[in-house]
C-alpha cells in the first residue's frame, strides 16, 4: 500500500468524530423514544377511560357477547365512505379485502361482504351456480325450486322477518317476502325498500343489495339456494340459524367522538374483544409510509443513523381487524406499546394500546398509532448542525492529509525514478540523487542511496578492470599455444592429426576472441557492434562446432538436428560461434554425466530457430527472467572453470546484434532446460 493511501487512512480516522456524534444521537433518540412511548400510552389510557364511562357510545348491546364466529354466520360490517352504486360490483366500496365464505347447507359455494353508511346496510354476495334456474313467473315461493338468496332479519322491535332475492332476468330487483293468504297458502310480496342488482357471471351470479337500517337490528342470516336444493322449514331455520348471524359494527357517531381526542399525526382505532375495528379517527403523517428524501446533510445523517427495523413486528394492515402487539396485550387487560414495521422503507410506527373495561370485563381496546418519522425529524433538527460540522472538519483534515501524502509521494517517486535510472544503458552508475539535501527521513534515505551507489561504482570499476587484467595475463600463454601449433603444422602430420591441429587453432582463435571480449567487458556492446557482417552457412558452422564439442566434452552425449540443406544468413560467424559456445558450455555445466545435449536448427518464417536443450534440473521460475542480465551468476555447484556471469549476457547481446532474440524455459517433461535463439534469415 502506498504512503498516500496509508496517510489517507490515517486521515479517515477522524471519522471517529461523526461516529461519536452518532452514538450520542442514538442515546438521545432512545430517550426520545421512551418519552414518546409514555406520552402516547397516556393518551391511549385517557381515551380508553372516557369510552369505558360511556359504553353505549361504543358497544351497541352494552353487555358482553360471545366471540366473533364467521362459521356461525357472523359478519363484520365495513364502514363505507360514500354510498355505492347498485350495479352488481363492489369496486366502488373501497375495501381491499375480498368477501368471505358464507356458511350454510347449500350445494354450491357463496361469499358475502357487508358495508354500512348512515342510512343503509349494503350486502355483496357472490354465488357459484353454473346451472342457473330463474324464478318462474307463477312460482310458489314456499314449494317451487329456483335460484334464490334467503334473508332472515331481526327487526329493531325484536321480531323476525324473512325475505328472498330471486329473478328471471338480471338487473335491478326488489326483495320479496312470503305472506300467507286468506286461504292459508303463501304468496310473494315485493318489498321496494330493499333493493338489489342481480348480475350474471361465468360461474354463477353476483347480487349487490341495499337494506335500510330502519328495517334491521343486529342480526341477519343469509342463505343461498339453488334449484336443486329442497326448501328448509322456516321454523327450523329460525331456531338453528339465528343462534349466529350477528352483525358487528359500531354505533353511529363513534368516529366523531374519537376525533375529539386525536391530535394531528396520530391515528386512533377502537377495537372490540375480537380485534374488530369499531371506529377510526385521525391519520398518520403522509411521510410515515413514504417519507420525502431530506436534504444533503440529512440524507447522510439518516443513512448513518438508520437502525435495522427488519426484526420489528409488522404492523397489521387488515381492513377489518387489528392483531399482534400491542392490541393483544390491551385485550388481555394490560397497557402495551410496540414499535411496528410498515411501508416499503420499513420506517417504524409507534403503537400504544389501552383496554376498555366495563364492569371489570375488558370489552375492547383503544389503539393509538404515531409515525416514527416525527421522532426522526426532531432528532435531525437537533443534530444535523453537529453532524455537518464534524463532516466539514473531517473533510478538511482528510484533504490536508491527502495533500501532504501527495507531496510526499511526489518526492518518493522522484527518488524511485532516480534509483531505477541509476545504472544507464552503458552500465555506468550515476551517483547523484534528488532530495539528498533535505533534512528529513527522505533526505537521509537519498543520502544512503548515494553512499550505496558509490560503493557499487567502486566494485563496478574493479570488475571492469578485472577483464583487462585477466586478458593481459592470459595472452602470453595463448601466444605460446599458437606458436606451438605453428611449429606442429610445419612438421609432417597425418590428415587426422591436421584435423586436430585445425580444431585446436580454431579453439585458440575463439579463446583469443573471448579474451578480447573479456578485456573489453566495460565496452562489450561497442565491441560486438564493431564486428563485420558477412554471409555464411549457419548449418555448416554448427556441424563444425558440434564435432569439437563432442571431443571437448566426452562425458555427455551431443546430438545435432539440422535441416538437410544449407542455411545461409548474414552476420558475424565468430559471434554466432561464441553464442553457441556459451549456450553449450552452460548446458554442459548443468547436464549430468551421460546426459544428452541436443542442438536443433530449424527454418521458420523469415528466421532461423536455434535451440539448445540439455538433461538436468529445471530452472527455478524466479530466475527465468534474470538469466540474461550482466554479471548474474546462480549455480548450485562450482567447478574449476572461472565464471564471470557474462556468458548468457553476451548471448543476449549477440542475438540482439543480429536483430534476433533469446529466451529460456523449462522442458515440458521437467527433465531439463531449453534455450531458444531466433536469428533473422537476412
pLDDT single digits (tens) 597-613: 999 999 988 899 999 99
pLDDT at 115 over 80: yes
Residue 206, SS3?
strand
Task: Summarize pLDDT for 56-94 with one digit per residue, the tens.
Answer: 888 766 555 678 888 888 899 999 988 999 999 999 998
CATH architecture, domain 430-530 = Orthogonal Bundle (1.10)
333-347, 404-418, 548-562: least confidently modelled range: 333-347
Q: Mean pLDDT for the chain?
A: 81
| 472-483 pLDDT tens trace | 777 778 888 888
Instruction: Please report the DSSP string for 410-471 in residue order.
Output: HHHHHHHHHHHTSB-TTSPBP---TTTT-SSHHHHHHHHHHHHHHHHHHHHHHHHHHHHHHH
| % pLDDT > 70, the chain | 79
Give the C-alpha separation, 408 to 404, whole Å.
6
Give residue 285's pLDDT: 64
Give the residue with greater pLDDT, 414 vs 401.
414
**Are 237 and 169 within 8 A, CB to CB?**
no
Which pLDDT band, with edges at 50, 70 and 90, does 291 fall under? very low
Q: Can you give the pLDDT at residue 516?
A: 66
Mean pLDDT of 353-377: 84
User: Looking up cell 547481446, which residue turns up?
Assistant: 653
Please name the fold of domain 9-60+262-381.
Beta-Lactamase (3.30.450)
| Whether the predicted pLDDT of 376 surpasses 90 | no
Task: Determine the pLDDT at residue 35.
Answer: 85
Q: Coil, helix or strand for 304?
A: helix
At residue 116, does pLDDT exceed 70? yes
For position 570, what pLDDT does the model report?
A: 92
Q: Is the pLDDT of residue 384 over 80?
A: no
CATH topology of domain 531-680: Heat Shock Protein 90 (3.30.565)
- Are the beta carbons of 123 and 99 closer than 8 angstroms? no
C-alpha cell at 422: 541509476
Over the stretch 628-637, which tens digit does the pLDDT of each residue have? Answer: 876 566 665 4
Report the percent of the chain where pLDDT is more than 90. 25
Q: In 147-165, which positions are buried (b, 16+ CB within 10 angstroms) versus exposed (e)?
A: bbbbbbbbeeeeeeebbbb
Identify the pLDDT of residue 406.
Answer: 84
What is the model's pLDDT at position 239? Answer: 44
What is the fold of 70-248?
Immunoglobulin-like (2.60.40)
**Helix (H), strand (E), coil (C) string for 404-424:** HHHHHHHHHHHHHHHHHCCEC
Give bridge partners of residue 151 from the DSSP assignment: 163, 222
Candidates 101, 212, 98; CA nearest to 163 is 212
Name the pLDDT band for 121 (thresholds 50, 70, 90).
Answer: very high
pTM, rounded to two decimals:
0.53
* pLDDT at residue 539, rounded to an integer: 93
Return the percent helix, strand and coil in the chain, to nearest 5: 40, 25, 35
Where do the domains of the chain lie?
9-60+262-381, 70-248, 430-530, 531-680
Amino acid at each position: 500500500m502506498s504512503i498516500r493511501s496509508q496517510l489517507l487512512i490515517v486521515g479517515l480516522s477522524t471519522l471517529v468524530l461523526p461516529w461519536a456524534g452518532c452514538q450520542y444521537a442514538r442515546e438521545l433518540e432512545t430517550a426520545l423514544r421512551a418519552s414518546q412511548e409514555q406520552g402516547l400510552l397516556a393518551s391511549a389510557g385517557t381515551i380508553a377511560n372516557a369510552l369505558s364511562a360511556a359504553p353505549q357510545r361504543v358497544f351497541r348491546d352494552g353487555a358482553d357477547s360471545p366471540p366473533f364466529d364467521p362459521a356461525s354466520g357472523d359478519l363484520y360490517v365495513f364502514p363505507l365512505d360514500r354510498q355505492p352504486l347498485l350495479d352488481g360490483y363492489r369496486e366502488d366500496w373501497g375495501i381491499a379485502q375480498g368477501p368471505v365464505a358464507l356458511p350454510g347447507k347449500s350445494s354450491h359455494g357463496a361469499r358475502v361482504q357487508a358495508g354500512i353508511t348512515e342510512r343503509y346496510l349494503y350486502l355483496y354476495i357472490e354465488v357459484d351456480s353454473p346451472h342457473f334456474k330463474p324464478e318462474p313467473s307463477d312460482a310458489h315461493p314456499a314449494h317451487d325450486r329456483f335460484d334464490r338468496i334467503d334473508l332472515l332479519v331481526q327487526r329493531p322491535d325484536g321480531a323476525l322477518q324473512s325475505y328472498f332475492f330471486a329473478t328471471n332476468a338480471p338487473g335491478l330487483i326488489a326483495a320479496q317476502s312470503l305472506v300467507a293468504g286468506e286461504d292459508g297458502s303463501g304468496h310473494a310480496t315485493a318489498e321496494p325498500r330493499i333493493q338489489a342488482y342481480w348480475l350474471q357471471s361465468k360461474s354463477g351470479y353476483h347480487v349487490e343489495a341495499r337494506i335500510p337500517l330502519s328495517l334491521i337490528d343486529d342480526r341477519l342470516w343469509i342463505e343461498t339456494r339453488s334449484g336443486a336444493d329442497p326448501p328448509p322449514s322456516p321454523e327450523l331455520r329460525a331456531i338453528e340459524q339465528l343462534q349466529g348471524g350477528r352483525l358487528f359494527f359500531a354505533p353511529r357517531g363513534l368516529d366523531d367522538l374519537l376525533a375529539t381526542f386525536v391530535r394531528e399525526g396520530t391515528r386512533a382505532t377502537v377495537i372490540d374483544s375480537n380485534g374488530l375495528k369499531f371506529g377510526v379517527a385521525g391519520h398518520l403523517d403522509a411521510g410515515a409510509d413514504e417519507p420525502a428524501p431530506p436534504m444533503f446533510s440529512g440524507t447522510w445523517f439518516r443513512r448513518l443513523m438508520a437502525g435495522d427495523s427488519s426484526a420489528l413486528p409488522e404492523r397489521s394492515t387488515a381492513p377489518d381487524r387489528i392483531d399482534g402487539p400491542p392490541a393483544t396485550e390491551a385485550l388481555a387487560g394490560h397497557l402495551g406499546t410496540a414499535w411496528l414495521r410498515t411501508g416499503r422503507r420499513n420506517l417504524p410506527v409507534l403503537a400504544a394500546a389501552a383496554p376498555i373495561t366495563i364492569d371489570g370485563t375488558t370489552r375492547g381496546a383503544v389503539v393509538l398509532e404515531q409515525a416514527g418519522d416525527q421522532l426522526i425529524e426532531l432528532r435531525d433538527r437537533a443534530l444535523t448542525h453537529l453532524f455537518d460540522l464534524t463532516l466539514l472538519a473531517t473533510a478538511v483534515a482528510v484533504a490536508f492529509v491527502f495533500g501532504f501524502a501527495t507531496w510526499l509521494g511526489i518526492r518518493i517517486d522522484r527518488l524511485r525514478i532516480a534509483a531505477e535510472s541509476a545504472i544507464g544503458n552503458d552500465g555506468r552508475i550515476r551517483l547523484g540523487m534528488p532530495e539528498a539535501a533535505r533534512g528529513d527521513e527522505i533526505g537521509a534515505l537519498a543520502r544512503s542511496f548515494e553512499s550505496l551507489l558509490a560503493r557499487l561504482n567502486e566494485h563496478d570499476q574493479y570488475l571492469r578492470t578485472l577483464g583487462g587484467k585477466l586478458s593481459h595475463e592470459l595472452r602470453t600463454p595463448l601466444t605460446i599455444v599458437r606458436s606451438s601449433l605453428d611449429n606442429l603444422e610445419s612438421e609432417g602430420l597425418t590428415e587426422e592429426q591436421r584435423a586436430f591441429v585445425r580444431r585446436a587453432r580454431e579453439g585458440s582463435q575463439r579463446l583469443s576472441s573471448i579474451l578480447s571480449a573479456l578485456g573489453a567487458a566495460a565496452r562489450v556492446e561497442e565491441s560486438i557492434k564493431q564486428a563485420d557482417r558477412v554471409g555464411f552457412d549457419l548449418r555448416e558452422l554448427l556441424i563444425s562446432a558440434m564435432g569439437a564439442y563432442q571431443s571437448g566434452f566426452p562425458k555427455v552425449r551431443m546430438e545435432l538436428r539440422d535441416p538437410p540443406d544449407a542455411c545461409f544468413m548474414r552476420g558475424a560467424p565468430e559471434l554466432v560461434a561464441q553464442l553457441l559456445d556459451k549456450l553449450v558450455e552452460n548446458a554442459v555445466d548443468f547436464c549430468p554425466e551421460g546426459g544428452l545435449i541436443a542442438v536443433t536448427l530449424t527454418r521458420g518464417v523469415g528466421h532461423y530457430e536455434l535451440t539448445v536443450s540439455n538433461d538436468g534440473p529445471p530452472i527455478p521460475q524466479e530466475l527465468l527472467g534474470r538469466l540474461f542480465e550482466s554479471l548474474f551468476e546462480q549455480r548450485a555447484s562450482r567447478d574449476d572453470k572461472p565464471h564471470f556471469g557474462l556468458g548468457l549476457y553476451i548471448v543476449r547481446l549477440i542475438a540482439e546484434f543480429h536483430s534476433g532474440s533469446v529466451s529460456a524455459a523449462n522442458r515440458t517433461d521437467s527433465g531439463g532446460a531449453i534455450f531458444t535463439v531466433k536469428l533473422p534469415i537476412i
